[in-house]
Each structure stands twice: as structure tokens, then as C-alpha cells.
Structure 1
Amino acid sequence: MVGRRDALLTRDKAQSSVGSRIVAAVVVGVLIGCVFAFLSPNGLFTAAPTTLIRHPKTVSSACESPEQVNALKVDILSAKEKNSELKKQVKDLMEKLRLAEQGKGHAQEQFLVFGERHKAGPFGTVKALRTNPPVIPDESVNPRLAKILGEVAIYKEIIVALANSNVKEMLQLWFTNIKKAGIPNYLVVALDDNIEEFCKSNDVPVYRRDPDQGVDAVGKIGGNHAVSGLKFRVLREFLQLGYSVLLSDVDIVYLQNPFDYLYRDSDVESMSDGHNNMTAYGYNDVFDEPSMGWARYAHTMRIWVYNSGFFYIRPTIPSIELLDRVANRLSNDPKAWDQAVFNEELFFPSHPGYEGLHAAKRTMDMYLFMNSKVLFKTVRKDAKLKKLKPVIIHVNYHPNKFERMKAIVEFYANGKQDALDHFPDGSD
């Protein structure tokens, strides 16, 4: 054991001696390197510096070579294209931001996220989507109309009315009050030459459609119902171009800007033919059938129809499908009433043999977007309601439209308190 321990000690001393010598060599090497670095910072084997002197003429001729000029032109064009693309992207982002902020906070509550699955939140906090996303605008559908809308529409929204010479007087009263209300984004779709010239002479934005056999004949000589049926075909192009449309008949008096009172949380937002809260917004109507005994009472859900002469429609797939369905049915059945068809397609649910329309809808405030039944049967007889100022009044329940429209202007715009008194509640 003692011999082994001595051998180990001897080996350790030898290894220690070798290690010390290695450390000393490293230290000496580092010191020598520092000395040389101080004395010759550029190294021991530096090459003679090369002097780069170019004649100005040589540089000039190189820059002016056709190849380089063409290359520069290509770079400039590429930069312009990238800049144009960036501007377009910025414009699209600004438009999306505007749409997100639109509607006084109502639209902000929507979640336009499709294709993703989400966990349900706590009880009472879950809300479904309220509307569908807008379609991608396609200006190739009608470049001429796209140009007009680009100049007239505001935030891609516009009031649209169809008119022929049969409604010339009402049309003049219609756009006169629109101007008084300070509404700039409106457009008349002229259905004949006379109305087109009339609008131009009164500085009214107008659009005359391209000739369309059959359709144009209806527009030129047709009555109110014929023109009402035509509007569903005309509106389709507006939606395809990416514009939201507030469709308006001409028997409407504008007192305020309607765009300030829209919610924009549905595909279709329409005024109602209802005359009170129940009929306008819906109610549970109990049907009584005594022969059924214990089960004699059947509950039914009822709502009065939407008015197809004044509604706001967004450029979504369900909205365009609605217009296609209504236009198709009207073209196949000339006796069909456009308002009845409009409501049937909008409200009837899916059932065996029929697929319902999946469109979100909202009923407008009946005192802001007022029909003439509400005005003449209720509002004009109520001291408190008479003080309210509607956004629009639609003379849809009465035949002597023009006279009642003028009286409405006298009452609301000119302050003549007895202007409405001499009219009967209903038709004469």
C-alpha cells in the first residue's frame, strides 16, 4: 500500500509540473501577441493600399448605359406599383375600420368571425351573429354606375328611388325635401328620358339604365306597382358593387337624415305597416277553436308586414338572394304584389319542399320612420306625439298622396298646426 501511494504522489507531481509549463507557455504567447499588436496594428504582411481613382467621364458613361437606364425604369415602375398597392390596402383597411365604427356602436357588437369554433360563455352572455359580412365589390358588373356611386355615395351608402313621368310632381316634392334636410347622398334611377332631363335641370343626381327589353317598357309606362316590382332587379347591381341602399318610394317626405338613425346590424332594416307596438314589432295572437275542447286555444306569432317602399339593405349574400327570389317570382306571376312576395321570402321558415331565406332583419322605429296610418289615425290627435319630429313619413295608406305630402310639409317644416286636420283618417 505504501509503495502504491508513493507512485501516485510521484505521478501527480509530474502532471502538475507539465500543467504549470503549459500555463506559462500560454501566458508568454499572449504577451508576445500584445507586443506585436501594439507595434504593428495593420499586421506584419500588409499589402500596399490600392488607390481607387476613377475619371468622372468613366462614371458618367457607366450610369448612362442603356442597360442601367432600363433597369432604373423597371425599378421605378415596380416601386410605383407597390406604392399603388399599398395605397389600395390602406384604403381597404380604412373602409373596414369605418364599417367597424359605423352605427353608433351597434355594429361593433357583432363578431364577423366565420369558420372558427368558440366555447359558449357564461349564462346570459352568449350572443349570435347579427348579420352577414358584405360581398366583395365587383365594379365590372356596371362600371358606369360604379363611377356615379363613387361620386355621390357617402360611406358606400345611398338613397335610391325609381321614377318615371307618372310621378313627376311627387318626385319634385321628394327631392326638394331631401335637399332641405341636408341629405347629399341620394340618386334617382330615371325610367324615361323626361325624368332624366328633369333631374338634370334641377341638379339632382340621376342614373339612366342601359336599354333592357321588356324591363324598360315597364319602367316607362308602368304604374306604381309595376315600378315597385322593377326595383328589385335594379337594386341588385347596387349591392354587387358593394353599396348599401336605402330604397325609397317617391311618396315619402324627408324631415331628417335617415342615415343618422339606422342600426346597420341586419341584412334588411325596414319600416313597418304596423300602427302600434304590437302590430309593428310582433305579438302572440291566440286563436280560439272551441270544438277542440281542452286544446281550444292555439298561440300564433304575428307581425304586420314590412313596407317594400322603404327599407335599408346591405350588400350581403342573403340580401342579394332576397332580391333574386322576389324578382323571379314577380316575373313569373305578373299579378303578384311585390310587398307580399317581399315579406313571404323574408319571413317564411324552411319547411318540407322549401328552403327559407337566412337573412337577419330589423323593424324600424315606427314613430321615426312613420307610415301615414300612424300619422293620421294616432299622431295628429295626440298632443305629445305631435311634438315629435319623424325622420320620414311615408304616405302609403292613402290615395291622395300628393295633397297629403304637401300638408305634411306644411305641418312639420312650416309649422302650420292645422295643416293635417281636414283629412279623413282613411281614404275618402
Structure 2
Amino acid sequence: MVGRRDALLTRDKAQSSVESRIVAAVVVGVLIGCVFAFLSPNGLFTAAPTTLIRHPKTVSSACESPEQVNALKVDILSAKEKNSELKKQVKDLMEKLRLAEQGKGHAQEQFLVLGERHKAGPFGTVKALRTNPPVIPDESVNPRLAKILGEVAIYKEIIVALANSNVKEMLQLWFTNIKKAGIPNYLVVALDDNIEEFCKSNDVPVYRRDPDQGVDAVGKIGGNHAVSGLKFRVLREFLQLGYSVLLSDVDIVYLQNPFDYLYRDSDVESMSDGHNNMTAYGYNDVFDEPSMGWARYAHTMRIWVYNSGFFYIRPTIPSIELLDRVANRLSNDPKAWDQAVFNEELFFPSHPGYEGLHAAKRTMDMYLFMNSKVLFKTVRKDAKLKKLKPVIIHVNYHPNKFERMKAIVEFYANGKQDALDHFPDGSD
């Protein structure tokens, strides 16, 4: 029995060994087949060998199970969706960046204007903020002008006058007295070649604008009113470059440096066409309408207009908006008077259908910044007022400007006491 059992065991072992070899051979064969299938998916004996291309999206290993292939497909689909979502996010971000850049300037302006908030102090101590902050200078607007202003302006301030050949005599008297008063920071905007050469020959700082079709035609051949309208468009670049401008017509005699007498607490600081305290600085004018009976008296607030031929304007957002508004209205209505438009935009309040300009303004001292009505109607006839020395005198009320300008120089600069006597109060 024992021998038989040993024989059976020996036979089983041999059979098991054979089966193990068979299994091993099969496994080896399968592995070799997998290797060849991976390396040569088109077979070993093909008529024309092809380039081996493997891509996870289309070809899988012969050893990969269907579950693995399906998992890869799911991963690829998920990657596609994520890629599409990322592209969308990038596109959205680019659009937001574009909008942010577009609104960057406005945001900076709003931030500067709003500033930090303040608490109200005790009764009687509260003072409103009167001075708007200046804009951020942008030299890219006009690099050539920026270079000139950098050489001529003092503390970012400059006197500017526009001139063509029609006012050559007055211009010479204008800059001659500016030099006598010791004012270095002034500039002539030449509207034609003749004035440019004239200024250079007299050592006067000059800026010749680049050709501007239509606008330059007005500047070259236009009269006083046409040139006055042009100045609002020209001044915009000065303000964008960050400079405060004392705009001056050429029918003005300078006796002192005006920059020593400015307050600089408003967007616009202008001389007045008023001829006394009431008309220059404002008054309560009572309108009488008897038919209204008990309510016959209506109180009105009045002030004589600012003179658009002499005003100081700071580089603020309200100031630039003022220039834009006036220039736009004048371009759309050639018959409009620039001084009337200037005052309407500066003073008219917001009301239904109209948004008023939110600009701070100051009226200059009428005896320091004097118009010719004040001079010829009042000052020259008053012994005390005659002793005052104005900063400037603007011959705005009279047509014979050049003759009166020369007489003003004789009276105030050369001491000739009767130089003004032979002129009438008004026009001849």
C-alpha cells in the first residue's frame, strides 16, 4: 500500500510539474505577444512599414482592459472640458482687464475727487473743501508743448495768449510790459508764421501749434471773437499736461506780476466785467410786479459776467469739462459769443434736462484786475483811487484799444498824470 501511495504521489508531482511548465510557457508566450503587439501593432510582416503613432486618445495598449480604456476616455473628456473652461475664464479676464484700463483714468479722477471722508466739526467751524485736486499730467498728449512748458513755466503756472497778425501792434505792447513787470513765465501761442517769427525775433517764448485743418484757418484770419473761441480748445492741452494757465487777451497792460495776487482756491478765478462792488461781486436785485399784489416783490440774485479774456484756470476735471462744454457749443453755433457761453456754463445750475457744471469759482479784486470801464468811468476821476497801482488793466470796454493801452502805460508806468484825461468814458 505504501509503495502504491508513493507511486501515486510521484505521478502527481510529475503531472503537476508538467502543468506548471505549460502554464509558465503560456504566460511567457502571452507576455511576448503583448510586447510584439505593443511594438508592432501592424504585424511583423507588412508590405509597407508605417510610422508608429501612439496617442492616448485613440490607441491603447493591448494589455489595457476595457475598463482602463473607458477611464482614459473619461479623463480625456474631462480635460477637454477643463481646457474649454480655462479658455473662457482667460477671455473673461482679458475683457475685464480691457474695461479696467478703459476706466482707469476715470477711477483715478473719482478717487482723487472724493478723497477721504471727514466728520463735521462743531457749529460754526465747518468749512467746505473748495479746491479740486489737479489731474494726473499726461505728457503723451503733446510732448513738444510739454518740453516748452517745462522750460518756461514756474511752479507749473504760465500766462498764455493767442495771437495772429491782426493784433501784432497790441501783442508787442503786451509782451513789452510783461517784460518790464519782471514776469518770466509767459507764452504766446502763434496762430500764423508771421507771429511766430515776430516773437522769436523779440526773444519772446512762442509755441506754434501743429496744423489743424479748419481750426487753424480761424486762427490765421479770424478776428478777436474767432480767436477767443479758439482759445478754449487750445487751453485743454495745457491743462492735460498739468499746468495752471492765466489766459490773457493781448489788449491787456501788465503793471505787476499777477501770480503774486492769486488765491488758487478755485477751479476758475476770473476778472469781472462789473464796475462796482455790487455788479462785480453780486447783489440781491428786487423785481417789482405790481399786478401780483401782496407778492409783487421777487428777489433775484445778480452778478455781472466774468471776463473770458482774462482768467486763471487750474488743471482739474471741472476745468477741463468747462473748456469742453464751451468749445463744443461754439463749434456747433458759430454765431455764439464765447464770453456769454463761458458764463452760462460756469453759472447755470442743474435743472430738469440740464446737468450744471460743478466747478468752484472766484471773482478777482476789481481794482487790482481792472477793466477799462472801472478805469475810465471811476478811477481816473477819483484822487484816492488814482494812487492805486493795478496788477493789470484790460481794455475790454472800448474799441480804440491800442491808443488807450499806450495812454495807460504813460499814466502808470511813466507818471504822466493827464495821459488819460482826453478819452471819453465810453466809446467815441
Bin for the TM-score computed over the shorter chain: 0.7 to 0.9
* Kept in 1: contact 2:239–2:314 (CA 8 A): yes
Question: What is the CA-CA distance between 1:131 and the residue it aligns to?
Answer: 1.7
* Kept in 1: contact 2:318–2:359 (CA 8 A): yes
Q: How many residues align?
A: 428
Distance 1:279 1:88 in 2: 65
Distance 1:236 1:109, change over 3 A: closer
Question: What is the CA-CA distance between 1:117 and the residue it aligns to?
Answer: 2.7
SS of aligned partner of 2:21: helix
Distance 2:414 2:65 in 1: 77
Larger mean CA deviation between 174-183 and 19-28 belongs to 19-28
* Kept in 2: contact 1:137–1:240 (CA 8 A): yes
SS of aligned partner of 1:419: coil
* Kept in 1: contact 2:38–2:61 (CA 8 A): no
Distance 1:192 1:35, change over 3 A: closer
Distance 2:150 2:218 in 1: 28
Question: What is the CA-CA distance between 1:34 and the residue it aligns to?
Answer: 76
Distance 2:15 2:386 in 1: 112
Distance 1:122 1:6, change over 3 A: farther
Larger mean CA deviation between 60-69 and 270-279 belongs to 60-69
The equivalent of 1:11 in structure 2 is 11
Distance 1:310 1:215 in 2: 22
Distance 1:254 1:280 in 2: 21
SS of aligned partner of 1:199: helix
* Kept in 2: contact 1:106–1:265 (CA 8 A): no
What CA deviation, in whole Å up to 9, does each residue of 1:246-277 have, x standing for no partner? 00000000000000000000000000000000
What CA deviation, in whole Å up to 9, does each residue of 1:3-57 have, x standing for no partner? 9999999999999999999999999999999999999999999999999999999
SS of aligned partner of 1:203: coil
What CA deviation, in whole Å up to 9, does each residue of 1:92-121 have, x standing for no partner? 999999999999999999998834332211
What CA deviation, in whole Å up to 9, does each residue of 1:127-173 have, x standing for no partner? 11102100000000000000000000000000000000000000000
* Kept in 2: contact 1:107–1:263 (CA 8 A): no
Distance 1:146 1:39, change over 3 A: closer
Within a 5 Å distance, the mapping from 1:105-120 to structure 2 comes to: 114-120=114-120
The equivalent of 2:364 in structure 1 is 364
Distance 1:325 1:418, change over 3 A: same
SS of aligned partner of 1:237: helix
SS of aligned partner of 2:187: strand
What CA deviation, in whole Å up to 9, does each residue of 1:306-349 have, x standing for no partner? 00000000000000000000000000000000000000000000
What CA deviation, in whole Å up to 9, does each residue of 1:369-405 have, x standing for no partner? 0000000000000000000000000000000000000
Question: What is the CA-CA distance between 1:365 and the residue it aligns to?
Answer: 0.1
Kindly, what percent of the aligned residue pairs are identical?
100
Distance 1:329 1:105, change over 3 A: closer
* Kept in 2: contact 1:161–1:189 (CA 8 A): yes
Distance 1:172 1:67 in 2: 97
* Kept in 1: contact 2:372–2:394 (CA 8 A): yes
Distance 2:326 2:173 in 1: 29
Larger Rg: 2
SS of aligned partner of 1:59: coil
SS of aligned partner of 1:72: helix
Distance 1:365 1:63 in 2: 99
* Kept in 1: contact 2:38–2:62 (CA 8 A): no
Distance 1:178 1:66 in 2: 96
SS of aligned partner of 1:105: helix
What CA deviation, in whole Å up to 9, does each residue of 1:226-249 have, x standing for no partner? 000000000000000000000000
